[in-house]
Amino acid sequence: MTSIESLRRSPLAPFLHVINGKRQPASDGGTRIVRSPIDGSVLTTCANGTAADAEAAIAAARTAFDDGRWSDLSPAARKQILLRWADLIEASALEIAVLGVRENGTEIGMALKAEPHSAVATIRYYAEAIDKLTGEVAPTDPAFLGLVHRAPVGVVGAIVPWNFPLMIGAWKFGPALAAGCTMVLKPAETASLSLLRVAELALEAGMPAGVFNVVTGEGAIVGAALASSMDVDALVFTGSGPTGRRLMEASARSNLKRVYLELGGKSPNIVFADAPDLDEAAKVSAQGIFRNSGQVCIAGSRILVERSIHTALVEKLAAHAAAIKVGDPLDNATQAGAVNSERQLLQNLAFVDEAKANGRNVIGGARLLQETGGYYMAPAIVADARPEDRVFREEVFGPVVTVTPFDTEAEAIALANDSTYGLAAAVWTSNLSRAHRMVRKIHAGLVHVNTYGGSDLTVPLGGVKQSGNGHDKSLHAFDKYLDLKTAWVKL
C-alpha cells in the first residue's frame, strides 16, 4: 500500500500544461523550478507559460464551448463524467495530497481533508445539482409565453491562490463545468502540481478535450492574458487586492468580461466576557488563525476581546499557541506545517519585528527549524495591538494574530468594521440578542457565532468592501456561470 513516506521520496517528472486534452510544454520551452518549502529542495519543474500558451488554451476552450461538445450534453451526461472524475480524485487522494504538501507546505492532516477530499465533495455537490436547476415561465399576458432560460456564460478564466489551490479551484471549476462552461485555469506559481494532476484525471474520466485546461506560469503573463482576452467571458479570482484591481482594469480595456473577486480579509474575532466557554473560545480562535500557518483567507487575524477578560484570554491563547506542533508537514503529528515560500516567511517576520519595534507585547513569532532549509515559523500573538498598527490593519497571511481590548459592544462593532476588508468575522457570546445584533452590524460576508471556520458547501462564501464580490460555494455559485436568457413567444 502506498504510504506518505514512499510518496515523499517519489521522484517527480517535469509537469506540463494541460491544453486541449494534451500535456504540452511551454511554447518557448521555458520551465520554472518547483522548490519545496519543507526543506528548500528542488522537487521538479513546471512549464513556465507564455501568453501564446494562454491564448492556445483560451482558443481550445472557445472551440469546445462553441461546438457544444460539453454545453450541449444533457445535464445527466455531464453529471456522469463529473462523478467519474470525483471518483478518480478520491482514489488518488493520498497521492494528490502529498504532492500538494510537498509543494506548498500545508500539514498533511489538513491537506487531505481540505484539498482532494474537499474537491471530491465539491464536484459531487455541483454534479448532483445540475439536473435540478430549472428555468421559469413568466406569469404574463396569455397571448404570450415568457420563458426564462439559464444558459452557460461561455469560457471562464480562473486564477487561484497557493494556500488551498485544489479546494479553492474546485469551488470555481465545480459549478462552472457543471453549468456547461469551459475553462482555463491558472494556478499560483508556487502551487500548481495538484491542479495539473487533477486536470489529467479529468481527461481520464472522459471530459472532452478543451473543456478544462490548466496553464502554469506567472500571473503577469498568463493571468494577464486571461484578463485581457476577448474570448474569456467571465474571470474568477482569489488573491490579493492589487491583482484584483489589475484584472478589473484589464476587463474594462478588453471585452468587459464579468470579474468576480475574493481578495482576502482582516477578519475580526470578537470575544465578549459572557462567551459560553472561554477555554473553547481560545482554542478555536488559535485554530482559526494558526492552522495552515495562518495561510487561510478567512483567518481570524484580529481578536477583539472585552477588557475584563483580556489578560485571561491572552494567557489561554498563548498556551494553545505554544502547544501547536510546528514542523514537517508530512508528519501526521504536525499541527502547522511550512510557510509556502521564503518570501512569505520573511514578510510574516517583518510584521512581527515591526510590532516589537513599536513597543508591542509580542508572544512567539520566531523563525523555526532553519537548519532544515525549510520555511517554518512559531505562532505569533501581538497581545496589545492598537488600531493604528500596521499589523492590525493589513493582511499578513501568516501565523500572526493581534489582540485588542474593547469596553462596549458599540466599540467592538466600530473596531470590527474599521477595516477595508469584509470577508469573515466571529462573535463569542451567550446573549442571543447580542449575537443577532452583531451579525447584522458587522460588515462581513460570513459571521460565525461561538465557532470559527468549518462552514460547508451549503452556504455561500463571499466578501464585502475590498474583500471582493460574488460568491463561492452553495447553489448561489451558479449565479456566476449561468446567464438569464428570456424567450418571448407570441402564441
385 within 8 A of 404, measured Cβ to Cβ: yes
Residue 46 bridge partners (DSSP): 15, 32
7 within 8 A of 98, measured Cβ to Cβ: yes
Number of neighbours of residue 220 by Cβ within 10 angstroms? 10
DSSP single-letter state for residue 435: H
Active-site residue (options: 262, 394, 395, 411):
262
Residue type, 417: N
Helix locations, 46-92, DSSP H: 51-66, 75-91
DSSP single-letter state for residue 480: G
185 within 8 A of 213, measured Cβ to Cβ: yes
Q: How would DSSP label each residue in 1-29? A: ---HHHHHH---PPB-EEETTEEE--TT-
DSSP run (H or E) holding 138 = none
Angle at 429 between CA 319 and CA 414, to 5 degrees: 95
Distance, in Å, from the CA atom of 450 to the CA atom of 288, rounded to the nearest integer, reads 12
394 is catalytic: no
Indicate the SS3 state at residue 269: strand
Helices then strands, counting H and E runs in the chain, come out as 16, 21
First to last CA, the chain: 65
Helix locations, 264-373, DSSP H: 278-290, 310-323, 342-357
Indicate the SS3 state at residue 148: strand
Quickly tell me which residue has 477588557 as its cell.
307
What cell was used for 320?
494553545
**Who's near 248: CB < 8 A, 6+ residues apart?**
259, 261
What cell was used for 178?
457543471
250 within 8 A of 274, measured Cβ to Cβ: no
118 within 8 A of 24, measured Cβ to Cβ: no
- Strands, DSSP E only, in 351-445? 362-364, 367-368, 376-377, 380-382, 400-406, 424-428
Quickly tell me which residue has 462581513 as its cell.
444
158 backbone dihedrals φ, ψ, rounded to 5°? -130, 130
Residues known to be catalytic: 262
